[in-house]
Each structure stands twice: as C-alpha cells, then as structure tokens.
Amino acid sequence: MAVVDASLVYAPLSLILTTNMLAGLAAALCASLLLSSSQAAGPLPIRPDGASYSRSSEGVRLSFRAEHDTRDQDAVFVPTFVQNELNGLLKKYAQAMSLLHNVTGITPPNVDSTQTGGVTQQLPLYPPTSSVVERQAMGLFNYNHDVLYYGPASVGNPPQTLDIIPDTGSADLWFLSGCASSKAKQFFPPASITYGRTASDFDVSYGDGYASGMLAQDTVSVAALSVDHQYFGVVDEISTSLSNYPSSGVLGLGFGTISQSKTNTFFENLMVARKLPSALFSISLAPASSRGKSELCLGCVNQQKFSGEIVWLPLQSRTWWTVPMTGMAVDTIGVVPLGLIAAIDSGTSQIYVPMAHATEFYSRINGSQPAPQYGPGYWTFPCDSSANLNVTIIFDAVPFDIDPQDFNLGKTAPNSNQCVGGVFGFPDDLPSNFAIIGAGFLKSWYAIFDHSDSGRVGLARSTARQARAVPFASGHFN
Ligand SMILES: *[C@@H]1O[C@H](CO)[C@@H](O)[C@H](O)[C@H]1NC(C)=O
Ligand SMILES: *[C@@H]1O[C@H](CO)[C@@H](O)[C@H](O)[C@H]1NC(C)=O
Ligand SMILES: *[C@@H]1O[C@H](CO)[C@@H](O)[C@H](O)[C@H]1NC(C)=O
C-alpha cells in the first residue's frame, strides 16, 4: 500500500516542529519514574495477567493513592505520579504556544476525510456481538486503578505483539527496543523480515535527560487493521533508567501536524488507504471500580459504551484534539467563565488548566485551600463534601459533569479531612488559554474523535461510569 509523503503534507508546520514534541511521553515511560526509596513502600502493581512486577532497586509507586483500591477514599494521596505527569506535560505540549497561536482556524485536512460522507455520514455504530470488535477494536488494560490504559498492537513480520498507550495528546508512534531499564516487552527488529531502518534519528530531549533511537518503518497492526511501511520511532536509548511501566510504547492519535517524525499517524494512514468505514475513532476509558472494559475503536462507535445523546464539539485546530472550553463549574452556582482551548488527551490521567483559572475554580469550593506541600498547582478541599460536589467542565456552553470519585484523589494524611482535588493548575510555560483534559474526565464521558470535514469531538455519557461501584457507604463522611 502507499505511504503518503508526509513532508509535502506538513510543509507549512514543519518549521516549527522540534524534537521536544515527544519528550513528555518518553519521560513518562522510561525516565521520570525514578522515585526516591521513601516512596517505594507499598504493594506492587498487578499485571493484567495477575502476576506482580518485581521491584527495582529504585522502587516505583505508580498510583494516585497509597492503597490500591480506588474505592477506598480514605487512602492517602501519593503525589509522585501527578508530579511526574505535570513535568512531562510541560514538555509534551512545549510547542502548544507557537502551534496554537499560529494555527488559527482549521488547517487543510491532510487526507480526504470527506470520503465517507463527512459529518453527515451515518455513525458506524456497532452492537457488542458484531465482528467489528475483532476487526477494529483494541481492548485496553486498565493499569493500577486508572493510572494508565494500554492495549496490544503488533509490529513486524512475523508480528510481534506489544502493548502501547493510545494517546490523543501526541502524534508519533514508537516502540521500546533495547531500552535496558524497562521491564516491558520490547520490539526486536532483526526478527522482522519487513523492517526498514531510515537514516533519520528519532531524538527527544527533556529537562536533563533524553531518549533516542531511529526512525524506522515496518508493518504495524491494531486488531485486524494494518499499515505497511508505517513510520515509527525505535527508542533504544534512554538517559535515566528504570521503568516498571507495563507498556512498550505509544500510539499517537493526534494530527500528523504535531508529529516529531513529520509523518502521517497510523490512523491517518488507515484513512489514506481507505481501510476504515468511517474517518473517526472512539475511546472508552472505564474506571477500575466499574470493572468495565476499556476500548479504542478504529472507524467505529461502540453503542454499548455510552447512553443518551452525543454532543458534538467543533475542532479548534488540526493539531491536538482541541475544543472550546467555555467554563468550569461547581454545582450550578460556582460557574467560572473561561475562553480556553482544551486538548482532549487520552494519554493524560488528570485535568490541567492555567494556574489563574485553577485558583478561580477552587475559590468556588467552600473550604478549599492551596496545597504547596506537593508543589504549585495543587489544591485540597473538605473530604466530607466530596460525594456531593458536582464539578462540571463546560465545553461550547454545554456542561459535562465528572464523577466525584475522579475529582477526589485521596486524603492529605490518614487523619486529615482535606482531600486533593483532581483539577490542577499549570505554570506559565504553557499558553494561558490552554487546558488539558485527561482520563479524569474521559472516565465519565465516551469520546468520538472525528476527522470528517473540519473535525469534531463527540461526547456521550459513559456506561462504565454508571456501572461503577459507589464508594461511599451512606453517611460515611457525615
Ligand atoms: C509562530 O511560528 C513562527 C515560526 O513559524 C515562530 O517564529 C513564532 O514565534 C510563532 N508565533 C508565536 C506566537 O509563538
Ligand atoms: C458555601 O458556604 C456558604 C456560606 O456558608 C453557603 O451559603 C454556600 O451555599 C456554600 N456553597 C457550597 C457550594 O456549598
Ligand atoms: C451536575 O450538573 C450537571 C450539569 O449542570 C447536571 O446535568 C447533573 O444532573 C448534575 N449532577 C448531579 C448529581 O446533580
């Protein structure tokens, strides 16, 4: 099949791309998990297959809370993961400043996204019994109570199956290969007869570290959908070692305009090759407490994963999946009007807004206070109001509430009645009109990412949210 020469497609933006584009995720995967031994106590993560990981000498703590039961809202918040994520985000979105200022409106689509009828197309809904599942769906593991979602892809001939993170907040595909510090399975190029190395480096740098490798090409498949000669990074060198992440790479699902490798994404190549019934994909991130199954559906919409109407939001630019964020609210009275551009990011766990807006937001919650012990951008609020707070994100004037369980990240200390809020402020390094909306939101809302015409994001109430266990025995906090 044909691979589009992406350098033609992306010429206007290529000047402002730097090697930093991928750094945030590289840091999150391989390097930023070096934690002090004081944070290493506690049970080890459980693998999807039920086995547990061995503890490295450095130790890891990949959890939001000190106990591994998200239903236990008494568990103490552990800041390490969020601290790492926030640091990584500053790198992951390092180009947001120039890209979002420079990209006004919608840049021309790089593929014929109207091929299936554009936004007037009939939604490719499928019922659970359909063979669409085998053909187009990537089932996702929920790692360590909502910290990370990843699923199987295969690369090479014969195919090597590796678990990767579907990430709408980036646009490069890469696999670990020879990253000695990682315990995750890695790609072994010599075993693939179709592997092709390129002369291009695949370098990313972040802070005082770096990850590097080569840009390569090979057959890549998700479910039964495959792309020959797909470009991806083979990350074989990482400056700081030790990662107990179970995943072996990232599947960038943003627009190729922001890719570090300046190539079409895997999904864009599927569209170009007309391998999809529809130019959209859908993501269901189920909270662990729901025991629901998470899924990436390529070219399809799983009607079992949502209920009610789909609300469609207009895309702001073909970079990240950006939609207008017009406000945030606590119940109906504490509305904070905003004029932000929000990136819907399946590869990020929390919700991040500019510091000034986070301050404004928490001022609407009685008893909230900054929590500088974790760093700037953290707030706490009274745990006993947790179950009753109705926090909503307002997109394009429509409010979308988030499950109170996802807003409460745990207590500050075993005997404290202050709990850490799941909305964080980021510093001036990112644009003051930008927001990053991660799994803390997507666990409540099924999301459809549609390339058609000028692009749009659809949100509908997630059935996994409705199915989740109620954490609070009645009167638990009262
Ligand atoms: C827009 O992009 C150009 C490079 O193409 C860059 O020099 C400029 O700083 C960017 N604008 C903003 C506001 O960042
Ligand atoms: C906050 O406290 C004030 C005064 O005690 C009260 O009027 C208001 O309803 C409270 N707001 C919320 C959201 O509980
Ligand atoms: C929270 O607010 C939203 C939007 O205003 C509303 O639709 C929803 O019913 C509210 N939820 C609760 C539990 O009050």
Q: Is the pLDDT of residue 217 over 70?
A: yes
Half-sphere exposure of 451 (CA within 13 A, CB side): 31
Phi-psi region of 115 (alpha: psi -120 to 50; beta: other; left: phi over 0): alpha
Q: What is the pLDDT of residues 53-75, one digit of tens each?
A: 333 333 445 677 776 555 566 78
CA separation for the pair 193, 195 (Å, rounded): 6
Res 19: pLDDT: 33
Ligand 2, atom 9, residue with closest C-alpha: 366
Question: Does residue 469 sit in helix, strand or coil?
Answer: coil
Stated pTM of the model: 0.84
CA separation for the pair 475, 269 (Å, rounded): 53
* Mean of pLDDT over the chain: 79
330 CA closest ligand 2 atom index = 13
Res 231: pLDDT: 96
Q: What is the pLDDT of residues 98-150, one digit of tens each?
A: 777 655 555 544 555 555 555 666 788 888 778 888 899 999 999 888 888 99
15 CA closest ligand 1 atom index = 5
36 C-beta closer than 6 A to ligand 2: no
Q: What is the average pLDDT across 449-473?
A: 82
Q: What is the average pLDDT across 298-320?
A: 93
Q: What is the pLDDT of residues 257-281, one digit of tens each?
A: 888 888 899 999 999 888 998 899 9
Q: What is the average pLDDT across 177-193?
A: 89
Res 110: pLDDT: 53
CA separation for the pair 164, 249 (Å, rounded): 5
Task: At 329, list the tokens.
Answer: 């609210």
Task: At 34, list the tokens.
Answer: 């070096």
The C-alpha R_g of the chain, in whole angstroms, comes to 21
> Is 345 one of the annotated active-site residues of the chain?
yes
> Which residue among 97, 102, 429, 432 is best mutated to probe the pocket of ligand 1, counting the most ligand atoms within 8 A of its Cβ?
102
Residue linked to tokens 């999301």: 447
Residues with CB under 6 A from ligand 3: 332, 390, 392, 399, 401
Catalytic, out of 345, 401, 406, 450: 345
Specify the amino acid at residue 188: F
Res 34: pLDDT: 31
Under a CB-based contact definition with an 8 Å cutoff, are residues 9 and 110 in contact? Answer: yes
> Which residue among 309, 401, 444, 465 is best mutated to probe the pocket of ligand 3, counting the most ligand atoms within 8 A of its Cβ?
401
Res 47: pLDDT: 35
Residue linked to tokens 């409705």: 466
Q: Is the pLDDT of residue 205 over 50?
A: no
Catalytic, out of 74, 167, 172, 401: 167
Res 328: pLDDT: 97
331 C-beta closer than 6 A to ligand 2: yes
Under a CB-based contact definition with an 8 Å cutoff, are residues 326 and 396 in contact? Answer: yes
The Cα-based distances of 407 to 71, 86, 119, 402, 421 in angstroms read 13, 17, 33, 7, 5
Under a CB-based contact definition with an 8 Å cutoff, are residues 419 and 380 in contact? Answer: yes
Q: Is the pLDDT of residue 403 over 90?
A: yes
Q: Which ligand is nearest the CA of 102, by number?
A: 1
Q: How far is the CA of 394 from the centre of ligand 3 (A)?
A: 12
Specify the amino acid at residue 140: L
Ligand 2, atom 7, residue with closest C-alpha: 366
Under a CB-based contact definition with an 8 Å cutoff, are residues 122 and 469 in contact? Answer: no
The Cα-based distances of 322 to 15, 236, 420 in angstroms read 21, 32, 27
Res 341: pLDDT: 93
Q: How far is the CA of 98 from the centre of ligand 1 (A)?
A: 5
Q: How far is the CA of 29 from the centre of ligand 1 (A)?
A: 29
Ligand 2, atom 2, residue with closest C-alpha: 366
CA separation for the pair 434, 100 (Å, rounded): 9
Res 102: pLDDT: 54
Residues with CB under 6 A from ligand 1: 15-16, 97-98, 101-102
Residue linked to tokens 């919608």: 106
> Is 49 one of the annotated active-site residues of the chain?
no
Under a CB-based contact definition with an 8 Å cutoff, are residues 282 and 297 in contact? Answer: yes
Q: Which residues contact 232 (CB under 8 A, 6 or more apart)?
A: 155, 172, 173, 174, 175, 215, 216, 217, 218, 220, 249, 261
Bond from prior residue into 158 cis (ω within 30 degrees of 0): yes
Percent of the chain with pLDDT strictly greater than 70:
76
> Which residue among 100, 101, 258 is best mutated to probe the pocket of ligand 1, counting the most ligand atoms within 8 A of its Cβ?
101
> Which residue among 364, 365, 366 is best mutated to probe the pocket of ligand 2, counting the most ligand atoms within 8 A of its Cβ?
366
Q: What is the average pLDDT across 29-36?
A: 34
Q: Is the pLDDT of residue 336 over 60?
A: yes
Sign of CA dihedral 368, 370, 371, 377: positive
List alpha helices for 278-435, DSSP H.
Answer: 355-362, 404-407
Strand partners, 65: 77
102 CA closest ligand 1 atom index = 1
Confidence grade of residue 452 (pLDDT, cut at 50, 70, 90): confident
Half-sphere exposure of 4 (CA within 13 A, CB side): 22
Nearest CA to 390 among 469, 476, 332, 460? 332
Res 262: pLDDT: 85
Q: Is the pLDDT of residue 396 over 70?
A: yes
388 C-beta closer than 6 A to ligand 2: no
Instruction: List, in order of start, the domains of the chain with CATH numbers.
Output: 9-477 (2.40.70.10)
Q: What is the pLDDT of residues 228-250, one digit of tens each?
A: 999 999 988 764 433 557 788 88
Q: Which ligand is nearest the CA of 334, by number?
A: 2
Please, is 200 exposed, middle or buried when counting C-beta atoms within 10 Å of its C-beta (0-12, 13-18, 19+)? middle
